[in-house]
Structure formats: C-alpha cells, structure tokens
Amino acid sequence: MSESHRAGTGGVGPGAGRAPAGAVEGGSRPRGASPGGAERPGTPDRAFPGRRSGKLPEDGPRGTDDGAGSTNGGPGAGNGGPSGADGATRVFVAHRELLFAIVYNMLGSVADTEDVLQETWLSWQGRAGRSPLDGIANPRAYLVRIAVNQALARRAAITRRRETYVGPWLPEPLLDEPAPAGAADDQTLRSESVSLAMLVVLESLTPLERAVFVLNEVFGYAHTEIAGVLDRSPAAVRQLAHRARQHVHARRPLYRAHPRVRRQATERFVEAALGGDITALMEILAPDVTVWTDGGGKTPRAGLRPVHGRDKVARLFAGYATRRATGLDIRYRRVNGDDSAVIFEGDSPYAVMVMDLAPDGEHVCDVYIVTNPEKLAHVRREEEPDTQEGRQS
C-alpha cells in the first residue's frame, strides 16, 4: 500500500471535515496475508494486530494433521487438508491472527473483533461437524469469508451503540506486542497494525467500502477474490475500491515522518502537555491542531467535543496539568504501530495518547486521547525495555 493511502477523517467519527496526519504506511506486506499465501511487495498500513484471547476450546483429541491447507491457489493456499475436530482447531488457530487483523481493521474494536472470531470459530466448528473439512480446498479463504461477513453483520450493532455514545468516539487502541520466537507467519501480524488515525479515517467509509479497502489495499486480495468473499461481482468490488481509495487519498497527506522523529515529537509533546508548559506547547502544536478525547461518558474530565486550534488546545492541557492526578507513570509504547504515550495510575491504565504530525514533521496536528476504561481493559503494564523507560510525573 502506498504512502498516498493516508487520509484524514471524514464525515463519521472524530475529525469529520479535516485531515489528521500520518497513518497508513509501513514496510512490506505482512507475511501470510497476500493471495496465494506468499509475500507480496507493497506497503500496507503497518499491518496488523493479533491480540489473542485464548477462547478456543481445549477439549477434544489431538491428532497429527497440521491443518494448514489448501489444494488450490488463492489467499492462504497451503499444504495438506484438515480432518476431524483436531484438524479444524489447528486450521483455525493457524489463521487466527490473520482473521483478527482483518476484522479489527474493519471494526476498530478489540472486544467486537474477539466476538466475531468466536462466532467464526463456532461456524467453522459446526461445518466440521456436518461434513469432512477435506472437501474445503482453501480453508483460509473459507475462514476469511466467514469472518468478513460476520464483521459486516456486527457493524449494525456497533452503529447503534455509536448513536448513544457520549462524547467523541475513537477506535480501541491496540498495543503492539512482539510475536514469540518461532511464531507462525500469521502470528507476526500481531506486532503491527493500521494506525489509529487511519482507523478514524476508515470509520467514514461505508461498511462494504471499508471491507474492500482493508482486503485490497492492506492485505493485497484481488478484486476477483474479494468478490467471492462478499458475494458481489468483480465490477461492483472495483467500484467500491475506487470510491474508498478516493475518499482515503483525499484525507491523508503523502508525508510520513521517520519513526525516530515521531518518537522525539511524542516525547516533547507529552512533557509539555503534562507539565503545563504553555510556551513549549505553542511551539510544537500546529495552528489547526485538534484534540479528541474519548471517555465514553465514564471519565469526568473527558471533553464532550473536539477542541480545535492551538490556543484552545494549549489552554486545555495547561488546565489539565494543574488538576491532574499525581503519581502518573508515563510509558512510551507503540500503539497501532505508532510511538505513543500510555499513562498508568498505579497498575491501572489511565489514558492512551496518540499524536499525529503535520507534513513538516515538527508540529503535532492531531491528538487522540482514549480514557474510556472499557477501551483500556486490555492494556497491561509491562516492564519497559532499556530504550523505552517509563517516567513518573
């Protein structure tokens, strides 16, 4: 996926009508995500998370089938075929990280993604109970189809929740976690993700446009393959892809700051904001900076509306610094692929702050703050490596 796929927010969610900077970018396409199961060149948006909940049942006999595969080409073609309950479990586990990545980028919610994966597992298990899975030529494509359509069905419930949501809504932040040694290719997806800013942009697409964009632009599925997943004609998919690309391209700049520059800017901003240093804030904030705070009506200090403009934002943080809780521990972690600040009060997560930089690479143009406890439930405090020390404030 190219740098041009970075857009600002659209008509839905925070940032409607203006463009935050910095989202879809990254290295090569994630392993295990491209058609045919092979790596493809390209630049997906840092591609994708893999949070695991361990919801699969542990009972049932253990066999020796590797459950990997497919006899045909296409996404995830592998070797061998699944057989029996153990084979079904092995196949699902082998593709779980890819399914999580796709669904999370379609929904922007870890909790809803886990629910969709549970529904996908039950559907897959039911299929295995009705007839041998050996008849499924491409298990990965089959699972992706189930998961994508389950995610589309869940969008209706998410939309209803959004209608009564208190204050700005932001996607649920996902802290990057390193894959364990010896992890399968799909499991490496958990260490990468679409940036939080891009997830905000994707909220402004229709559910079908978003599904097509994620599958095509991020994971490299061809229009003909997506047509099979969505039960649409290839021509209809191409039209959806065109509209989605136009929308996203119009809202993300081509510029992408070097990770070291982003890290330095993040630290400068956090130190100035939490320290109440108005002069430093005015220097680092872009004139048209916007702050969104998602507290979901559960945190008293979270604003109910976005705050626009450098002067107002500087005053907001200056006021916050004078009345904030003492003993907050700031940890610099990667959130959805970007260097960000994760703030703890004791052992409990207090807030996640993600900053976007303007094209000049020197100024913060958008700040996303998540304080809703429900969206921080999966955030865990861990010891920082030597290069990322926490700091008491």
What is the CATH number for 117?
1.20.140.160
Number of domains present in the structure of the chain = 2
What is the Cα–Cα distance from 14 to 167, expressed in whole angstroms?
A: 10
Look at residue 250 in the predicted model and tell me its pLDDT.
85
Whether 57 and 206 map to the same domain: the answer is yes
In a domain, 57, yes or no: yes
Q: Of the residues 216, 249, 282, which one is the last residue of a structural domain?
A: 249
Q: How many angstroms separate the Cα of 215 from the Cα of each of 105, 141, 181, 229, 273?
A: 10, 12, 27, 10, 38
What is the Cα–Cα distance from 184 to 258, expressed in whole angstroms?
A: 29
Q: Of the residues 220, 249, 278, which one is the last residue of a structural domain?
A: 249
pLDDT in tens, the chain (393 residues): 433 333 333 333 443 333 333 333 433 333 334 433 333 333 333 333 333 333 333 333 223 333 333 333 334 333 344 556 688 889 999 999 999 999 999 999 999 999 999 999 999 988 888 877 777 889 999 999 999 999 999 998 898 888 888 889 999 999 886 555 544 454 445 444 588 988 999 999 999 999 999 999 889 999 999 999 999 999 999 999 999 999 998 887 656 678 888 889 999 999 898 888 889 999 999 999 999 999 988 876 677 889 999 999 998 888 877 766 567 888 999 998 888 999 998 888 999 999 988 887 789 999 999 999 999 998 887 755 444 444 555
Whether 47 and 188 map to the same domain: the answer is yes
Whether 141 and 218 map to the same domain: the answer is yes
CA-nearest of 351, 391, 387, 354 to 370 is 351
Look at residue 318 in the predicted model and tell me its pLDDT.
83
Whether 18 and 74 map to the same domain: the answer is yes
DSSP for 110-128 reads HHHHHHHHHHHHHHHHHHH
pTM of the model: 0.75
Q: Of the residues 182, 215, 249, which one is the last residue of a structural domain?
A: 249
Whether 240 and 265 map to the same domain: the answer is no
Look at residue 180 in the predicted model and tell me its pLDDT.
52
In a domain, 254, yes or no: no
Look at residue 304 in the predicted model and tell me its pLDDT.
82
Query: Domain range spanning residue 122?
Result: 3-249
